[in-house]
């Protein structure tokens, strides 16, 4: 392991209790506290930069990674660091406000669209990031439509608000026009230095320096000190309440007493009230319960803007977001460390738990119905999981990423599962054993079974190890499933009768991932026949890990492994299909190096 990787490891603060404190025998109480969220956007909008801040502010990392420094946790592959772009979706779990956020940082480049697709297929909500100076771009539209297909509630985050050309109005206009979103709920106003009058900010002579945000829901101003040492890289910021409303706790706020000049305070409060009045009007149009509150209140719009309590607005925004009647919009500059904590708060407040997500609920119901039909006689709700990614870790071997749609998964012992998508194909048996369960942190995996045993030894607990489970709705990585491929559905062995295990079962409705058709082809030639087998094995692994990468023999026959009977002229030729030149180049990596023509 090289020095840079060791340093990176040190930055990751995987304290032992992180995973274990989430287990219990209750199947749904933890599920309510889970948010499975993807960051999706056009290339370079700032997904990885934002995710790095999320890891840091949640306490998972001791320092922040930067894409241009090549030291991020999420862009961990050598090719990602060299090129400064994300190539695979990286997963990491963080704790925020007593919730667990399973984050998937997806790539924005069009060639890696399958990474977005497989991520969205298992998520319950998304943060769509825009470059505040560019608005909606080609790939923004693409990921938006993908999220529509999976019925995902989402937040919009206008990043890069520090750039000179950034404009909230311009972005709002392009969101309405290009994404056809009727109701965008702007929840914050940006504060730039030309209007700043407090003592906490700095002045650089640059007229477009983003200093902070006004939160229209809670009526507070958040201001980040310009000196990043004072702000501990954005961890600490000043908070001033502009309205006399009941507010909840503030995560990361360091100073809550008044720090603004009276005239600045009056001007910002005026802006807040105008924004709040507009927000309440939009919510009253989109949400019946809030409309009723407004109608019954007997107060003027001005009065309501100043006095409507934040929890009433929170609840209305949440209802509208979950029902996909509206999309909340937040602002910031992740690179300048401004706005990420309020974005995390918004994830907890407005995006659904697995119990509330439309698609996840439908899959769970369908899985329960299917298990009732093929019944192995399990009384409790049995495990149903979707495999959405396979990878090979140098240390741990083949790993499978799972999203649990029904039941729960023990973290110790072995769990036998039936691969219902591949029952007929698998010659010996469709049953495989999950041997270990991990929580992913990009390319690092925390063994939950080991953590649980250590914790038990520590506390001298007498409770049986089998009472620790990964909850319904969670996302984990497991080992032991060597035949499982992306998109396969797994059911607990006990939920499927012996007879049914060897027959061809149907997929659980809604669980599955669409693989896009390849659009770019290239021919490969092994340098010699003896190298051919090596090349085929490497390509086999590649297609298993990335199904949008296909391999066809030059004579047009089937898969790599079916390559026996070829004419002498094409004996060492293979056609590789992918989503674009970059996909083939990085997907092949060392495997294809120099062989492309």
The tokens describing 232, both together, are 């501990």
How many Cβ atoms are within 10 Å of 595's Cβ, its own excluded?
A: 18
CB of 68 to ligand GTP, least distance (A): 5
| 106 contributes a contact to Mg ion by CB under 5 A | no
| 49 contributes a contact to ligand GTP by CB under 6 A | yes
Contacting range for ligand GTP; rule: CB under 6 A; set: 42-50, 200-208, 409-417, 534-542? 42-50
Q: What angle do CA 221, 226, 230 make, to 5 degrees?
A: 95
Dist. CA 49–CA 513, nearest whole Å: 27
The binder of 235, among ligand GTP, Mg ion, none, by C-beta within 5 to 8 A per type, is none
Shorter beta-carbon distance to ligand GTP: residue 134 or 508: 134
Dist. CA 263–CA 276, nearest whole Å: 20
Identify whether the C-beta of residue 315 lies closer than 8 Å to the C-beta of residue 292. Answer: no
Shorter beta-carbon distance to ligand GTP: residue 234 or 398: 234
Identify the residue among 61, 72, 86, 137 touching Mg ion (CB under 5 A): 86
The binder of 44, among ligand GTP, Mg ion, none, by C-beta within 5 to 8 A per type, is ligand GTP
Q: List the interface residues with ligand GTP, window 60-79 (CB under 6 A).
A: 67-68
Dist. CA 413–CA 195, nearest whole Å: 61
| 61 contributes a contact to Mg ion by CB under 5 A | no
| 162 contributes a contact to ligand GTP by CB under 6 A | yes
CA 426 to chain centre: 32
Contacting range for ligand GTP; rule: CB under 6 A; set: 45-53, 377-385, 461-469, 504-512? 45-53
Identify whether the C-beta of residue 170 lies closer than 8 Å to the C-beta of residue 127. Answer: no
Q: Which residues contact 207 (CB under 8 A, 6 or more apart)?
A: 192, 193, 194
| 100 contributes a contact to Mg ion by CB under 5 A | no
The binder of 41, among ligand GTP, Mg ion, none, by C-beta within 5 to 8 A per type, is ligand GTP
DSSP characters over 268-282: HHHHHHHHHHHHHHH
Query: 117 by DSSP, 3-state: which?
Result: helix
Identify whether the C-beta of residue 282 lies closer than 8 Å to the C-beta of residue 183. Answer: yes
| 85 contributes a contact to ligand GTP by CB under 6 A | yes
Per-position b or e across 332-361, b if 16+ CB within 10 A of its CB: bbbbbbbbbbbbbbbbbbbbbbbebbbbbb
Shorter beta-carbon distance to Mg ion: residue 281 or 580: 580
CB of 414 to ligand GTP, least distance (A): 37
| 333 contributes a contact to ligand GTP by CB under 6 A | yes
Identify whether the C-beta of residue 481 lies closer than 8 Å to the C-beta of residue 417. Answer: yes
The binder of 271, among ligand GTP, Mg ion, none, by C-beta within 5 to 8 A per type, is none
Identify the residue among 31, 36, 61, 86 touching ligand GTP (CB under 6 A): 86
Shorter beta-carbon distance to ligand GTP: residue 107 or 440: 107
Q: List the interface residues with ligand GTP, window 101-140 (CB under 6 A).
A: 107-109
Cα 396 to Cα 122, 141, 400, distances in angstroms: 24, 38, 11
CB of 73 to ligand GTP, least distance (A): 12
Dist. CA 182–CA 200, nearest whole Å: 38
Q: Which residues bind ligand GTP (CB under 6 A)?
A: 41, 43-49, 67-68, 85-86, 107-109, 159-160, 162-163, 333-336
Residues that bind Mg ion (CB under 5 A): 47-48, 86
């Amino acid at each position: 392991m090289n020095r840079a990787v060791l340093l990176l490891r040190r930055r990751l603060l995987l304290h032992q209790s992180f995973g274990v404190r989430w287990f219990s025998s209750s199947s749904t109480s933890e599920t309510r506290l889970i948010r499975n969220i993807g960051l999706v956007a056009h290339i370079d909008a700032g997904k990885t930069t934002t995710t790095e801040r999320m890891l840091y502010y949640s306490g998972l990392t001791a320092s922040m990674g930067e894409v241009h420094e090549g030291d991020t946790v999420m862009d961990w592959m050598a090719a990602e660091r060299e090129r400064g772009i994300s190539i695979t979706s990286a997963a990491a779990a963080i704790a925020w406000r007593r919730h667990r956020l399973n984050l998937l940082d997806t790539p924005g480049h069009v060639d890696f669209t399958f990474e977005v697709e497989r991520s969205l297929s298992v998520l319950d909500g998304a943060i769509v990031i825009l470059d505040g100076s560019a608005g909606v771009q080609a790939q923004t539209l693409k990921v938006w439509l993908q999220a529509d297909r999976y019925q995902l509630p989402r937040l919009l985050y206008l990043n890069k608000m520090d750039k000179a050309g950034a404009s909230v109005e311009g972005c709002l206009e392009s969101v309405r026009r290009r994404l056809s979103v009727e109701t965008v709920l702007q929840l914050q106003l940006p504060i730039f230095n030309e209007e700043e009058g407090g003592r906490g900010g700095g002045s650089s002579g640059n007229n477009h320096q983003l200093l902070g945000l006004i939160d229209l829901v809670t009526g507070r101003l958040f201001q980040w000190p310009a000196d990043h040492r004072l702000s501990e890289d954005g961890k600490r910021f000043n908070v001033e309440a502009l309205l006399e409303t009941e507010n909840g706790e503030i995560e990361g706020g360091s100073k809550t007493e008044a720090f603004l000049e009276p005239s600045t305070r009056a001007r910002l409060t005026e802006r807040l009230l105008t924004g709040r009045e507009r927000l309440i009007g939009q919510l009253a149009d989109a949400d019946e319960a809030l409309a009723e509150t407004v109608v019954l209140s007997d107060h003027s719009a001005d009065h309501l803007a100043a006095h409507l309590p934040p929890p009433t607005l929170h609840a209305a925004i949440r209802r509208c977001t979950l029902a996909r009647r509206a999309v909340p919009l937040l602002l910031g500059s992740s690179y300048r460390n401004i706005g990420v904590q309020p974005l995390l708060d918004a994830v907890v407040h407005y995006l659904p738990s697995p119990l509330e997500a439309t698609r996840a609920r439908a899959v769970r119901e369908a899985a329960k119905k299917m298990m009732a039909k093929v019944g192995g006689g399990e009384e409790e709700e049995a495990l149903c999981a979707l495999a959405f990614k396979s990878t090979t870790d140098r240390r741990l071997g083949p790993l499978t990423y799972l999203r649990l749609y029904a039941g729960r998964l023990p973290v110790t012992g072995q769990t036998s599962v039936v691969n219902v998508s591949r029952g007929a194909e698998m010659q010996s048996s469709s049953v495989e054993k999950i041997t270990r369960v991990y929580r992913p942190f990009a390319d690092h995996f925390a063994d939950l079974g080991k953590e649980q045993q250590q914790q038990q030894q520590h506390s001298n607990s007498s409770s049986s190890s089998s009472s620790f489970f990964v909850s319904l709705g969670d996302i984990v990585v497991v080992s032991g499933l060597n035949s499982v491929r992306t998109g396969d559905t797994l059911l607990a062995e006990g939920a499927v009768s012996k007879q049914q295990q060897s027959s061809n079962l149907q997929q659980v409705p809604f669980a599955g991932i669409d693989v896009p058709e390849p659009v770019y082809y290239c021919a490969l030639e092994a340098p010699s026949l003896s190298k051919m087998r090596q090349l085929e094995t490497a390509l086999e692994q590649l297609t298993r890990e990335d199904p949008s990468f296909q391999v066809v023999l030059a004579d047009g026959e089937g898969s790599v492994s079916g390559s026996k009977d070829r004419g002498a002229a094409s004996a060492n030729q293979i056609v590789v299909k992918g989503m674009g030149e970059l996909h083939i180049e990085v997907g092949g990596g060392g495997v294809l190096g120099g062989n492309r023509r």
